[in-house]
Each structure stands twice: as C-alpha cells, then as structure tokens.
Amino acid sequence: MLGFLIGEAVRDLRRAGRVAVSAVVLITLSLAALGGFWLLSLNLERAVARWRERVRVIVYLKREPAPSEAKALVERVREVPGVAGVLYISKTDALVSLKQLLGKDASVVAQLPANPLPASLEVTPAAAAATPEGARALLERLSALPEADEVAGSVDWVERLSQWQRLLTTIGLGIGVVLAVAALLTVTTATTLILHARRQETEIMRLVGASEMTIRLPLLLQGMLQGLTGAVIALAALVATHSVVAPRLEPLVNITLDLPQLAFLSPINVLALVLAGALLGGLGGWLARAKA
C-alpha cells in the first residue's frame, strides 16, 4: 500500500513538471539562506563565548600591599558579587610581563630609574557580569574599594559582537520565511494543477470504493517529496560551500575572532533543516488537498 502511494506521489510530481521544479528550487533557496545565516550565527556565537571567557577587569592599586595584605585583599575581592576569580599582580610581576611584551626592546625598561608600574588585581567577571549592565555594576563595586586607584575594563565590544550575531539570525529567519512562503504557494499551485489533471481519475477511484485517505495521501506525500528534495539539495550546497570557503576564511577569522576553525551545522541542525523542508512541502500539499 505504501509503495502504491509513494508511486502515485512520484507520478504526480512528473505531471506537475516545471511548477514542481520551481517549488523545489524555492524550497532549496529558502533552506539554503536559512542554513547559511544559521552557520554565520553559530560561529559568531562561538566567538562571543570565547571572548566573554577572556574578559578581564584590572584594578590598579594605590600602593603595593604587603604579602599578607595582598592575600587578604584577594579574598575580599573574590567575595564581591559578579567576581569569578582574582589574580594579584605585584609591581615586579607587572614589570616582568612588560619586558616579555616588549621582546627585543626590553632593554628600554632597564634604563628606568624605578619601577613605574602599579600593583594590580586581574579580576575575571562571572557570567552574570559579562554584559554591559553587569560590567558597569561590577566596575562600580570595584571602584569603591579603598585600595583601588583606577579600574579599567569593558565588555561593550563583546556585546556588540553578540548583537551582530542576533542580527544575522533575524535577517536569516526573515529571508528564509519570505522564500518559504513563496515555496509554499508554489507547492500548493503544483498540487492544484495535479488535482485538475487527475480529476477524472479521482472520480473513478471514488466510484470503485477507494478511501479518501488513498486519494488524498499522495498529494501530501508529493509535497513532502518536494520539500525533502529541496532540503537535500540545500544541505549539499551548504556542505560544498563550507568545504571550499571555510579553509580560505579561517586564517582571517583566527586573527580577528580567535576562531581557529569554522564549524558546520551540528547533526541536530541538519535534521532540523531536513524536517523543515519536509514540513514545508507537506504543508503545501495539505493546503491543496481540500480541493481533491
């Protein structure tokens, strides 16, 4: 029975001709656009997560505390809301880091009459403080410390990157929805044309006692076949594009976003696109089935 229904659906697709091909093309375009923006969004989300983990707030101290005072200060700052970790950096440690940063020009430091660098605390914000609002609140708390001379740090640029990620997701969804509506209408049109072509055959099937499910189900399967075909083509195009473009972009992305590798869609994402194609095509067939 199932083989008969699938055979009828395939035969109906051949009858639809160019209209069915147009429906498959539109489904392919809508899912490819959605998948492409989804890829960009996922990789930007990875970059945002990596950079948020590296956000640091530096508290420059008015004077270098004694070792026992430094330990007590670190414990006190660790208890501040929004702080995930604290590292004390003495004046000597700061000077060593500066020499490492200067590299071959480190000899310039030796000419200084005294160590001009202040002792400091390197504060790692908690996840709740890695947003503009949370960071501002944390900066205010750290600035209120009696030992603090100056506090430096901001996550505004990380949040802007996150906003770009959300914008890309919104644009991708918008384009995907527009193309999906066009594909849905085309699938419905193709199914309606098939209904007109097989109207006499449908009446004969009813006269010989065929159930309505036997008559209508091929229409739904026809739409689902168009959707699945479009989804498979869209995924193939995404895989091919990613395999060609990703290796060429990864050096630039590694420098700018600190992402050594551009990830592809996860198996769950791939399954979601396939199901979206089947649902889109099936919905078009369902909308036209009432005319059968």
At 1 the pLDDT is 47
At 33 the pLDDT is 82
At 238 the pLDDT is 92
DSSP state of 62: S
CA 205 to chain centroid, in Å, comes to: 49
Q: Are 121 and 88 in contact (CB under 8 A)?
A: yes
Core vs surface per residue 79-93: b (16+ CB within 10 A) or e:
ebebbeebebbbbee
Q: Is 151 left (phi over 0), alpha (psi -120 to 50) or beta?
A: beta
Instruction: Compute, in degrees rounded to 10, the torsion defined by CA atoms 28, 31, 32, 38.
Output: 180
Give the contacts of 183 (CB within 8 A, at least 6 positions apart).
23, 26, 27, 29, 30, 230, 280, 281, 284
Q: Show the domains of the chain with their CATH numbers.
A: 2-51+158-289 (no CATH), 56-154 (3.30.70.3040)
Determine the Cα–Cα distance for residues 8 and 4; give it in Å rounded to an integer. 6
Instruction: Compute, in degrees rounded to 10, the torsion defined by CA atoms 218, 287, 24, 35.
Output: -120
Determine the Cα–Cα distance for residues 244 and 170; give it in Å rounded to an integer. 26
Chunked into runs of 10 residues, the chain (292 residues) has average pLDDT values of 49 59 78 83 80 80 87 89 87 80 69 80 80 78 88 69 73 74 71 62 56 61 79 91 89 79 88 85 69 50
At 7 the pLDDT is 54
- For β-strands 148-152 and 83-89, DSSP reports them as unpaired
Sign of CA dihedral 108, 110, 111, 116: positive
Q: Are 234 and 24 in contact (CB under 8 A)?
A: no
| CA-wise closest residue to 139 among 156, 157, 119 | 156
At 174 the pLDDT is 78
